[in-house]
Structure 1
Amino acid sequence: MMRKVKSLMAAGLLAVAAAGIYNDAKAEIQTFIGELKPELEIRPRFDWTSKNAPATPPPTEDATALTTRIRLGAHIDKIFNIPGLKAYLELNDVSDLIDNKRTYGETNQYAFIADPSITRLTEAKVSYTWGKTTLLFGRTRVNLDDQRFISDANWRQTPQTFGVLALHTKEIPNLDLLMAMIYERKWWAQDGLVATNATGVNFTQTSSLDWSPDKAPLVFHGTYTFMPALKLTGYAYLITDASNTYGANVRGDIKSGDITFNYLAEYATQTDPHKNKYLTNKPKVDGDFWRIYVGASHSSGFGGRIGYYEMSEYKIKNGTTYRGFSTPLTTYHGFEGWADVLAAGTANGFYYGLKAWHLTLNYKHKDYGNFDFIYYIFNAKKSQPGVGDKYGQEIDLQYTKNITKRLSILLKGAFYMADKNIFLNTATSGPASPSKDVSKYWIQLTYRY
């Protein structure tokens, strides 16, 4: 174990040394590129998860983990001294710093913490920009809007990345357009390990999917800014083996003296996917989603927001089951509560649907740090027979502070309070275990160079 720790420290020192070597060899390097900018991030994290976290069969002990992420990156500008032609490479290594007491599916003793040891080339992309248009090819992070549908899930120690061929343009005034074809998806899962899903079925984990051009997922996204107070976005996410999602939102910021008000209203619908590769047949999908929130922030640092959203339930039509609304390419951790109790429903749809209220309060101060409080009320959209429609409530707390220019700390906790009901979030109405209270804690340091 100490050998592994020493190797990780050495990798960080090599990254810093590389910057010095580059400065010494700058004249020679500029024959091929105009500029090279290295990046280094070291992110150690302690996790604690209570044994009541959802799993089948249920774990018998709490889980702890101490992991670190080392991210090495290099921005390369003006390749062959061609203005606008650049590249970015990024290597991500996640390692256990102690003998972690958690499970990846090979044992059901400990609760699940989703950050296995993985070393991966997370980004490798080339782009060419002319005017206000960029053509990009390669593996990259993708974050759209507030990441409700597609994101890099950067909370995980191994981020989610996509292989894309994309065209992004702002040539038309006030209009931001993105068109992309996805040829691969990579995320945090550990290849080859046998896990058990929420319905009790064993499956072999895989961290990668790939598609040929004729079966590739397609992304279309456009935003027109009328004014800061009115931005209109439309999108179509045609995701192979999952669903076709079509939607639009309107949002904006309205400043009045020391207060800035913000709002968002959104609606989306889902239908059967346009293609299937990993599934024998296309899944049947008939779902919709809508949300609305309003918020405000004051120049003193205080802010807040209140919102509501719904995700539709599974439907049975003429003996055929249609899956409800789901968002499988987002960060599950970011929306339905940090305790991740509802994560399976986010990815696969909620059998009885989801209705959620959320209240956010925050305070930001340049000296004292940032404080965040989130309160959720989760209910089913359709009542469960003989049980009712209550899922639970959750309180999430977070404190972040910059210790130095390059070093920051994060303290975070999630507390899910079950209504002692039957909790269902998969493609079946049973069997299921009674819900239980779930707690999670995190302590994280982040150093960036």
Structure 2
Amino acid sequence: MKNSNFFKASILALGVGAAFNSSAAITDDISKAVKDSKVDVSLRYRAETVDQDGTNEDALASTLKSRITISTGKVFNLSAKVEADNVSFIGNDSFNSTVNGKGTYPVVADPEGSEINQAYLQYSGNIFTATAGRQRINLDDQRFIGGVAWRQNEQTFDGYRLQVKPLDALTLDASYVFNVNRIFGEDSDKSDLSGDLILLNAKYAINKQHSVSLYNYSLEFDGAAAGTSTNTMGATYNGKFKLGGTGLAVKAGFANQEDAGDNPTTFEASYSVLEVMANFKRFSVGGGIETLGSDNDVGFSTPLATLHMFQGFADIFLNTPKTGIVDTYVKGSTKIGGVGLSAAYHMYEADEGNAEYGTEANIAAAYKFNKQVSGLVKAASYSADDFATDTTKLWFMVTANF
């Protein structure tokens, strides 16, 4: 009887001890998560000028983006992030922000306002990461899916994302997005794109020098945007080669796009890119040709891309012309005295027909003052032939991260 009571008491003691140990472990995890949490602050001031033929006034936009980001540590592999942005006019606001009613000025799509840029819950396992909520999604080089981080109000996505790495060389990425928070801000009727968007991407690293990405992006938009619904399937190869003392970087890609969802127009258009860059010790130089085709008077579209990174800084071709576009370009970069310098020259023409759209020159200079503060000056000059009008843009930007 005494042994039985002793046995029961021992079991009870072990249970209580286990409960205390479990509670202590949870408390330790929460304590560590709090310690691992961090707050980041980012400030980005930019002055942008636009001189565009056909508008009554030149634009001058002076804006400040203020961002605060709160990232928690992990509790049972769960973490959260909340990021809030504010865009304010600092001094001059002589530009068309798309919502301020100043239609006599050229567009600088940096409207005033505050909004939640990201807010999500994330689970990180051994081979996969699952994210639910408002989030940034940048796939490959952002030619099809990106955050448009150049604009003061970033593009983010409401939905669910699963990233799986079953092998060291293989990364699988799948997202379901039901709303896109666009760059135009909450006060614009173009602020959101809702629908059923399925983003599938697989990247395989053959080795350290060569990789291949396969993707399928199904964009079925609601409402008035349904007319732009598409399905795009393609592949991109990136490779690095050594030729003597010269390094060659090669990018080659192809995609096919067709109508989807409630798009009333039947079409099938193609995309291709081939770029070769030669990397020397002190500079890089190269060029390429990128083609967005057309069919049935519909141009190959990339509505969720970070478009400022492609087809010139002047942003003349944010929407592909109905006869498509061929962008033949040369570019180069170097660094002198800590200043990063780059330049590019583009020649644009129609993919169908004989139209010569125009040419564009881009230059940029970037300098990092210290770990927190960096500066950028860049310019774009578009000379029109058969498309749009002559446009010159100049930017001065300072970014500080804390």
Do both share a fold (TM > 0.5)? yes
Q: Structure 1 unaligned runs (5+)?
A: 1-26, 53-57, 194-204, 316-321, 424-434
Are 1:177 and 2:172 matched, yes or no? Answer: yes
Counterpart for residue 64 of structure 1: 60
Which of these residues, 314, 339, 351, is aligned with residue 369 of structure 1?
Answer: 339
d(CA) in 1 for partners of 2:155 and 2:80?
Answer: 19
What SS does the aligned partner of 2:87 have?
strand
Q: In structure 2, what is the Cα distance between the partners aligned to 1:408 and 1:206?
A: 32
Counterpart residue number, 1:4: none
**What is the SS of the residue equivalent to 2:305?**
coil
- Secondary structure of the residue aligned to 2:93 is coil
Whether 2:252 is the aligned partner of 1:265: answer yes
Q: Are 1:441 and 2:377 matched, yes or no?
A: no
**SS state at 2:275 partner:** strand
Q: Is 2:135 aligned against 1:140?
A: yes
| Structure 2 counterparts to residues 342-381 of structure 1, below 5 A | 342-345=317-320, 350-364=321-335, 367-381=337-351
TM-score, normalised by the number of residues in structure 1: 0.78
Counterpart AA for 1:440: K
- Partner Cα distance (1:32, 1:303) in 2: 44
In structure 2, C-alpha distance between the alignment counterparts of 1:256 and 1:181, rounded to whole Å: 43
Write the mapping of 1:241-390 to structure 2, written as runs, cut at 5 A: 241=221, 242-255=229-242, 258-273=245-260, 275-276=261-262, 281-298=263-280, 300-315=281-296, 323-345=298-320, 350-364=321-335, 367-383=337-353, 388-390=354-356
**Amino acid aligned to 1:438:** T
Three-state SS of the structure 1 residue aligned to 2:308 is helix
SS in 2 for 1:326: coil
Q: 2:182·2:193 contact (CA, 8 Å) conserved in 1?
A: no
In the alignment, is the contact (CA less than 8 A) between 1:255 and 1:261 conserved in 2? yes
Q: Structure 1 112/268 Cα, relative in aligned 2: closer, same or farther at 3 Å?
A: same
Equivalenced residue count is: 367
Q: Is the 8 A contact 2:88 2:112 kept in 1?
A: yes
Q: Which has the higher strand share?
A: 2
1:176 and 1:240 map into 2 onto residues whose CA distance is: 25
Output the CA distance in 2 between the equivalents of 1:32 and 1:359.
Answer: 49
Partner of 2:119: helix, strand, or coil? strand
Distance across 2 between alignment mates of 1:344 and 1:324: 8
Deviation, 1:406, is 0.7
**Separation in 2 of the partners of 1:380 and 1:28?**
59
Q: 2-side partners of 1:344 and 1:295: how far apart?
A: 27
Spell out the pairing of 1:91-110 with structure 2 (5 A cutoff): 91-105=84-98, 106-110=101-105
2:208 corresponds to: 228
Aligned residue number for residue 198 of structure 1? none
Structure 2 counterpart of 1:382, which letter? E
| Aligned Cα root-mean-square deviation (Å) | 2.1
Determine the structure 2 residue equivalent to 1:39: 40
Hey, what does 2:72 align to over in structure 1? 76
Q: Counterpart of 2:18?
A: none
Alpha-carbon offset, residue 351 of structure 1:
1.1
Deviation at 1:417, TM superposition (A): 1.2
Q: State the shift of 1:230 in Å.
A: 2.2
The DSSP-based 3-state class of the residue aligned with 2:72 is strand
CA displacement at 1:257 relative to structure 2? 6.3
The amino acid that maps onto 1:246 is M
- CA distance in 2: counterparts of 1:130 and 1:257, whole angstroms: 43
Partner of 1:219: 199
Q: How far 1:150 moved relative to its partner?
A: 0.6
Aligned equivalents of 2:240, 2:32: Cα separation in 1: 46
Distance 1:263 1:446, change over 3 A: same
The secondary structure found in structure 2 opposite 1:381 is coil
CA distance in 2, matches of 1:32, 1:295: 44
1:403 to 352, 358, 369: 369
Q: Are the counterparts in 2 of residues 184 and 209 from structure 1 also a CA contact under 8 Å?
A: yes
Q: Deviations over 1:329-374 (max 9, x none)?
A: 01222111111112232xxxx2111111111100135x42200101
Contact 2:153/2:185, CA 8 A, preserved across alignment? no
- Please report how far the alpha carbon of residue 32 of structure 1 lies from its aligned counterpart in structure 2 after TM superposition: 6.1
Counterparts of 2:319 and 2:258, CA distance in 1: 20
| Residue type at the aligned position of 2:356 | K
Residue 14 of structure 1 corresponds to none
Compute the TM-score of the two structures, normalised by the length of structure 2: 0.86
Cα distance in 2 for partners of 1:175, 1:378 equals 36
Q: Deviations over 1:243-283 (max 9, x none)?
A: 0000011111224565321101111001112x34xxxx544
Equivalent residues of 1:186, 1:208 under 8 A apart: yes
Instruction: Report if aligned partners of 2:115, 2:186 keep a CA contact under 8 Å in 1.
Output: no
**Residues 233, 256 of structure 2: 8 Å contact kept:** yes
2:16 equivalent in structure 1:
none
Distance in 2 (CA, whole Å) between partners of 1:446 and 1:312 is 37
Structure 1 residues 29 and 66: alpha-carbon distance in aligned structure 2, compared to 1, 3 A threshold: farther
Instruction: Provide the secondary structure at the position in 2 that maps to 1:382.
Output: coil
| 1: CA distance, partners of 2:375 / 2:143 | 25
Q: Is 1:34–1:78's contact at 8 Å kept on the other side of the alignment?
A: no
Aligned residues of 1:243 and 1:285 also touching (Cα < 8 A): no
